[in-house]
Homo-oligomer: A and B are copies of this chain.
Amino acid sequence: MSYTEELGKRAKAAESAAAVASTSQKDRALAEISKALLENKELIIAENAKDIAAAKANGMTEAKQDRLRLDEKRIEGIAKGVDELIALKDPIGQVIDGCTRPNGLQIIKTRVPLGVIGIIYESRPNVTVDAAALCLKAGNVVILKGGKEAINSNICLGKIMRGAVEKAGLPADIIQVVDNTDRETTNELMRLNGYVDVIIPRGSANLIQAVVKTATVPVIETGAGNCHVYVDASADLGMAVKITDNAKTQRPSVCNAIESLLVHKDIADKFLPMIAERFKSHNVKLYGCDRTITILGSSVEKATETEYATEFNDFVIAIKVVDDIDEAIAHIRKYSTKHSECIVTSSLENAQKFQKQIDAAAVYVNASTRFTDGGEFGFGAEIGISTQKLHARGPMGLTELTTVKYLINGNGQVR
């Protein structure tokens, strides 16, 4: 039996204990994890230092090293995140729907855990704890496969969490961290049908595409976000500047930041200089169509298909002047990754048209796309943002880590 199959087998053996664990037992395990993280700060920092040293030796950029680094404050933040899950409502056992059929059969639709979840992710070791804790709260078993750059940190965090889970009277195998950096293990994990119920990749578009291509286990895609703001002719231009600026520059590296700006031709002369002025303070690089260049001048580089299709994740934006809302909708349909799209408008008709015709997880009227987030939606926590249409769409909280089971009670009914 391969190492990966062994992982799968151990996960399946722990599945039932996780599924039937009471809320208080799961919460006790979360409290133990939080406590153990704080008690083992020095150990974690020491193991993380090995990863940082390797990163330095491999010439990793300072910015990336910073994402990898765990210090006392960050560990406290991670532990606090785990503590916060305790307060969240346990989704397991919730009765969602039900009826009594004419033949007297009582049908009850209840919420149950998904089972064994494989998480494949990169870089930041905090995901190891965040994801494990969320899966545990929803009664699932998790197999975590992080990036090779964080292997020492991840193994250390895994050991600490496993000990804590055991201390709470649950099987340690509810949380397993892959302890090698072998690509073969990742590939096997994605094809471990029968042992793994779902794979959730978290990371770059490349990682996610590789998982989608390779996996035979069902996958929930997360994260790709080529998002747009469309400023309509009737928009409050002050509001449009505020929203566009926020959606682009408040945190450009994340998936709910915008990559393109569409502007109605009637207000382009007035609006484009306003937003360009604002962008200047953040050194945003501008690409634009010919009409944009005519208005803003030659500091704007000509935008091609490539720019409109790119998720820059950076202080870069592609601008297009459009004739009307229909052209805006058509453009978004062509380039959108169906994550978050926004119209700024004062027209009720156009607001409704945009929300009806745009196919995306979140469609905004007069608010920044940056709100597509489990915390901002009031979910308390999130495992990622689903950009596919099956199972979950948009921010995924605890509920999205569950499935359903029908309980049917009869007194001898047959067909």
Residues of chain A in range 358-399 having any CB-CB distance to chain B below 8 Å: 359-368, 370-372, 376-378, 388-391, 393-394
Select which of B193, B363, B408 is within 8 A of A362 by beta carbon. B408
Copies of this chain present = 2
Closest B residue to A99 by beta carbon equals: B378
Flag whether A136 is at the interface (Cβ < 8 A): no
Task: Verify B218–A388 contact, CB threshold 8 A.
Answer: yes
- Among A360, A372, A407, find the residue whose CB has the most chain B CB atoms closer than 10 A: A407
A107 to B361, CA, bound (A): 12
Task: Report A320-346 CB contacts with B as 1/0, cut-off 8 Å.
Answer: 000000000000010000000000000
Task: Verify A410–B366 contact, CB threshold 8 A.
Answer: yes
- Chain B residues near A360: list those with CB within 8 A: 405
Q: A216-B213, A218-B219, A363-B406 are in contact. Are A246 and B414 (CB under 8 A)?
A: yes
**Chain A: interface secondary structure?**
mixed
Closest B residue to A114 by beta carbon equals: B389
Task: Verify B361–A242 contact, CB threshold 8 A.
Answer: no
Q: How far is the CB of A61 from chain B (nearest CB, A)?
A: 26
Task: Verify A412–B250 contact, CB threshold 8 A.
Answer: no
- Chain B residues near A403: list those with CB within 8 A: 389-390, 393
Enumerate chain A interface residues (CB-CB to B < 8 A). Answer: 15-16, 19-20, 99, 101, 105, 107, 112, 114-115, 193, 197-198, 212-213, 216, 218-220, 236, 239, 242-243, 245-247, 250, 333, 351, 355-357, 359-368, 370-372, 376-378, 388-391, 393-394, 403-415
Q: What are 13 A-B contacts with C-beta separation under 8 Å?
A: A16-B357, A19-B359, A107-B378, A197-B389, A198-B389, A213-B216, A245-B414, A246-B414, A360-B405, A365-B407, A368-B414, A370-B415, A390-B403
